[in-house]
Amino acid sequence: MTDLSAEDKKLVTLARATRARIGAAEGAAARDTDGRTYAAATVDLPSLRLSAVQAVVAMAVASGASGVDACVVLGESGALADADAAALGDVAGGSGVLVHTGDPRGAIGGSLSL
């Protein structure tokens, strides 16, 4: 996590804590273009299924965010699913979204820009 900015390290902490609190498959955290942060975990109900990234994007949009600058997703796969990339692309800020992916412990394995 040493190559991350202090703001992105905060997102890692939020994503890890949110995932761990409920034992979810994934945790995600995002920072909007105004600097506000959001954290969410996988939602897996009989009538509603959302990845952690989809849930955090929904929270940002429902809060009036005009864009997302950065996102961290932590889970066993350590990767960003296509549907999650699409959701982030829908709310990309002016210069895109920086995405960090990692394992459940918060070790970042990769970063990409959408």
38: domain CATH number is 3.40.140.10
Task: Provide the β-strand partners of residue 39.
Answer: 29
- Flag whether 44 is in a domain: yes
Domain count, the chain: 1
- Flag whether 1 is in a domain: no
- Flag whether 93 is in a domain: yes
**108 vs 93, which has greater pLDDT?**
108
pLDDT at 2 over 70: no
User: Domain containing 74: what range?
Assistant: 6-113
pLDDT digits (tens, 9 = 90+) for 51-82: 999 999 999 999 999 999 999 999 999 999 99
pTM: 0.94
Q: What is the pLDDT of residue 3?
A: 85
Q: Is 32 strand, coil or helix?
A: strand
DSSP 67-82: -EEEEEEEESS-S--H
